[in-house]
Chain A
Amino acid sequence: QLQLQESGPRLVKPSETLSLTCSVSGGSINTMAYFWGWIRQPPGKGLEWIGNIYQSGITNYNPSLKSRVTISADTSRNEFSLKLTSVTAADTAMYYCARRGLTGYDPFDIWGQGTMVTVSS
């Protein structure tokens, strides 16, 4: 059974870079069948899509975050990563990684448990 697990620092200072990794077990990210995505949720608020990556390295990002976001994949380690630069308190959130089908008709069908990241000095 496919499982996703987020990891990374729980506390990041303002203006620094948030870095998270999603480790995938029970299946390979090196597949032509899926995108791998990041979604976040500020405390008490709704879900916000950050971006997706395909196994070939093709990415697409939320336009509102695009200038600060990089998503990459390491197929040899079966994981993909998120970097968000120049963070502020507004980036404090639960960060989820998830699997998504390839087409616009496909949902995020498997999610990690999430990791809470706080931006504070």
Chain B
Amino acid sequence: SYVLTQPPSVSVAPGQTARITCGGNNIGSKTVHWYQQKPGQAPVLVVYGNSDRPSGIPERFSGSDSGNTATLTISRVEAGDEADYYCQVWDSGSDRFGGGTKLTVL
């Protein structure tokens, strides 16, 4: 089965740029979506179709996808961005999620 690998944690200071990766075999050929989940809340879609943002999501959130790695980039990180982030793809008839990355804002 298709495996998506995310680092368990990423830390960044406020105002800096956070990059959260999602590794998968030839993930560059797939469409990647990213979700943000704050404690006690349901996941929220922040990037879809590799790099598009739903309405209401700040432009600070962006995505890219190439080779074996997809990346969620959060620019000018704010305290409110602290959350778990999950990547997701569709592969061989199944939806698959990465293990999640906890973003800590120092």
- State the interface size on chain B (CB cutoff 8 A): 25
The verdict on A60 contacting chain B, using a C-beta distance below 8 Å, is yes
Evaluate contact between A63 and B1: CB separation under 8 angstroms: yes
Given the interface pairs A105-B49, A107-B33, the reply to whether A46 lies near B94 with Cβ below 8 Å is: no
Q: Which of A47, A62, A108 has the most CB of B within 10 A?
A: A47
Distance of A108 Cα from B42 Cα, bound (Å): 12
A96 CB, min distance to chain B CBs, angstroms:
6
Evaluate contact between A104 and B31: CB separation under 8 angstroms: yes
A84 CB, min distance to chain B CBs, angstroms:
17
Evaluate contact between B97 and A48: CB separation under 8 angstroms: yes
Given the interface pairs A60-B94, A62-B94, the reply to whether A46 lies near B86 with Cβ below 8 Å is: yes
- State the interface size on chain A (CB cutoff 8 A): 22
Q: Which residues of A contact B35 (CB under 8 A)?
A: 47, 107-108
Distance of A96 Cα from B95 Cα, bound (Å): 14
Q: Provide the B17-51 mask, 1 if CB < 8 A to any CB of A, else 0.
A: 00000000000001101010000011111001100
The verdict on B93 contacting chain A, using a C-beta distance below 8 Å, is yes
Stretch at the interface among A9-17, A20-28, A69-77, A110-118: A110-118
Name A residues whose Cβ lies closer than 8 Å to a Cβ of B.
37, 39, 46-49, 52, 60, 62-63, 96, 100, 104-109, 111-114
Name B residues whose Cβ lies closer than 8 Å to a Cβ of A.
1, 30-31, 33, 35, 41-45, 48-49, 54, 86, 88, 90-91, 93-100
